[in-house]
Structure 1
Amino acid sequence: MPAPAASRAPREGAAAVLRFGRLAAMGTVAALILVAGVWASWGTAQHVMFPKGREQGAMTVTRCAEDVCTGPFTPTSEGARARDRVAIERTVAVEQGTTYAVAVKPGSGEVVRTGASGLLYAWVPFAGALLLASVVVAGGLGLSRLGWVLGGFGLALVTAAFVVL
């Protein structure tokens, strides 16, 4: 004998509330991951994407320590001044004796790579966030197609940065 309709309604209502709570929680987690990825990338990307008014030039790496490489800065833009020493973050793509196109972070002696390689490298943290969010979207939200799209974009961005650097 089936349960009366009155006893089914609370169970269906509770299931709907739990389903909504899961979607809200996973949607919030995915959004936070993506925002954190943009936040982590923006510190470098803004100097590469909006070079107007920034000192641009070339840096020849003369010395590398554990996490920083240094060298002289030769300006190529108007208003930029030559510097004996600027610093760039040491990565696998920075080699001693090589010259890189860079932009100086305002108010500091730090530089970031410009051009396609600098732009792609700046957005690598966002690419990682896309890959992580794809798992949350596909698994937690049940939106497998959107998860594949996010993961595909993240993988493409990481691959492009690896190839260009």
Structure 2
Amino acid sequence: MIPAMPASASPARRSSVSVLRFGRVAVMGALAVVILFGGVWGSWGTAQHVMLSKGREEGTVRVTACAGDSCSGPFTPTSDGARARARVTLDKSVAVRKGETYAVVLKPQSSHAVRSGPAGILYAWVPFGGALLLASVVVAGGMRLTRMAWALGLAGAALLTSAFLAVR
């Protein structure tokens, strides 16, 4: 033993280290929860229409024109109570191409459509997939929970990859 080194840390030092460790874990845990909540919030605006489509107008849209950040085309209904429309809009993304036909659900009291089916559900949850990836970094670095971080990161990567493959 080195004479200049104390045999053990003082009780006051141990308790202050414990308080700081608890504070770091609590703050980073709260940050991870806020990030995940933001991802769910960002996804739910679209996902609710796709996942809870009972009673909504369902059909197909053949994209005839794209301008700016939206595409449009005629709506052909496939559900009871839905009516045909000459023009509905669909958000333009990498997954929407002119001349293609997509299964959609119309948002209530509007002519705005969102993709339905497995591709639409996965695409709607893309913001949550990004939040899972970001939260995994916070959990790994701030909370030092590497297994939980790997689980969050892999879940986010799987969600984003499956959404990419589904909407191709």
Query: Please, what TM-score do these two structures have when normalized by structure 2?
Result: 0.93
What's the CA shift for 1:9?
A: 2.1
User: Which residue number in structure 2 is paired with residue 90 of structure 1?
Assistant: 92
Tell me, in whole angstroms, the C-alpha distance in 2 between the residues paired with 1:25 and 1:120.
31
Residues 130-161 of structure 1: CA distance to partner in whole angstroms, max 9, x if unpaired? 00001111111010011001100110111111
User: Which aligned segments of 4 or more residues in structure 1 are displaced greater than 3 angstroms?
Assistant: 1-5
3-state SS of 1:23 partner: helix
Within-5 A mapping of 1:118-129: 118-129=120-131
Secondary structure of 1:86's match?
A: strand
Name whichever of 7-16 and 53-62 sits farther off. Answer: 7-16
1:60 corresponds, among 59, 62, 82, to 62
Per the alignment, in what secondary structure is the counterpart of residue 41 of structure 1?
helix
Query: 2-side partners of 1:20 and 1:109: how far apart?
Result: 51
| TM-superposed deviation, 1:76 | 0.7
Counterpart of 2:24 in structure 1: which amino acid?
R
Which of 107, 112, 123 matches 1:110?
Answer: 112
- Matched with 1:134 is 136
Q: How does 1:7-156 map to 2 (within 5 A)?
A: 8-156=10-158
Query: What is the one-letter code of the residue matched to 1:96?
Result: K
Question: What is the CA-CA distance between 1:17 and the residue it aligns to?
Answer: 1.1
Structure 1 length as normaliser, TM-score? 0.95
Instruction: Give a deviation string over 1:74-95, Cα, whole Å, max 9, x none.
Output: 1110111111111010001100
Q: Structure 2 CA distance, aligned partners of 1:113 and 1:88?
A: 8
CA separation of 1:53 and 1:16: change in aligned 2, threshold 3 A? same
Deviation at 1:108, TM superposition (A): 1.2
Q: How many residues align?
A: 164
Q: Which runs of 5+ in 2 are unaligned?
A: none
Q: Which runs of 5+ in 1 are unaligned?
A: none
> Structure 1 counterpart of 2:132, which letter?
L
* 1:74 alignment partner, SS class: strand
**Residues of 1 paired with 2:80 and 2:47: CA distance?**
21
Q: 1:82 to 1:26 in 2, by over 3 A?
A: same
2-structure distance, mates of 1:148, 1:4: 38
Q: Distance in 2 between matches of 1:130 and 1:93?
A: 22
Calculate percent identity across the aligned residue pairs.
59
